[in-house]
Amino acid sequence: MKTATSLTGLPQKKITTGLKRLQGAGITPERWLAMLDADPASMQNLADAWPVRLPSFSYDAVAILGFGEASTEPLPKPAPGEIVIRVGDWSLQDLRDCDTGKELMHQQDWYDKYDCMTAKLTPGVYRVRLPVRDSNRKNFSEQKGLLLSGEDVAPVALGAATLLVRLKETGNDLLENDWCRCSEVLPDGRHAALVVDEGRVLVYGYWDDYRNDGLWLSAARKA
């Protein structure tokens, strides 16, 4: 279904349902009319408090990336803002060297000499947040404070697999040209980081105290 890009483009049924829900929450006709006359600052406060529909996806990366057969069990339903993904026992190098990786990953080898960057994933189904909402403009310690119960910072191989499968299936960049920190600590103290650069996944690193509008956190937990 095509997504409406303006409120006036929504189906009348959805508009009516929305008005009924607002009325049920205590928005009377008088309050609605008061909103029409509100100043810009009040309208911005209203917009800031409005619920946000977060995108969510499910991917069987084992099958999509050509590492094996699709699961016979359906994947769990993702929560808003989550990517549910099934992965195998891959390393970052395995992803880079597979057919999809050769097409959609920069062919870097600088990380091959670091044990933390060659570790294989524990296979299974994960719930990934990439990026974690509102985690930009924060250092690494502040970003970790946004982890949910049971979550850890995502391993770089899991983050790369999530970016890869989304690129392969839709051509879209989950990070929208921004970066995300991952769990691995490089010998110089930086944390591994990922970005989609010119349509391909690139691996880099950022210092823990660095803050930037375009630097987010990745998070994951077993499903």
Flag whether 3 is in a domain: no
> Do 86 and 192 have their domain in common?
yes
* pLDDT of the residue at 51: 76
Rounded Cα distance, 216 and 223, in Å: 22
* pLDDT of the residue at 5: 62
* pLDDT of the residue at 123: 98
Number of independent structural domains in the chain: 2
Q: Could you list the beta-strand ranges (E) of 8-103.
A: 57-60, 83-87
> Do 90 and 188 have their domain in common?
yes
Residue 42 domain boundaries: 8-49
> Do 45 and 73 have their domain in common?
no
Model pTM? Answer: 0.83
Rounded Cα distance, 126 and 165, in Å: 14
Residue the block writes with tokens 């026992």: 89
Give pLDDT tens digits along the chain (223 positions).
345 568 888 888 888 888 888 888 899 988 888 888 999 898 898 888 887 778 899 999 999 999 999 999 999 999 999 999 999 999 999 999 999 999 999 999 999 999 999 999 999 999 999 999 999 999 999 999 999 999 999 999 999 999 999 999 999 999 999 999 999 999 999 999 999 999 999 999 999 999 999 999 999 999 9
> Do 70 and 174 have their domain in common?
yes
- 106: Cβ contacts below 8 Å, ≥ 6 apart: 197, 200, 201, 202, 203
DSSP characters over 105-155: B----GGGG-GGGTPPPPPEEEEEESSPTT-TTS-HHHHHTTPPTT-EEPP
> Do 33 and 115 have their domain in common?
no
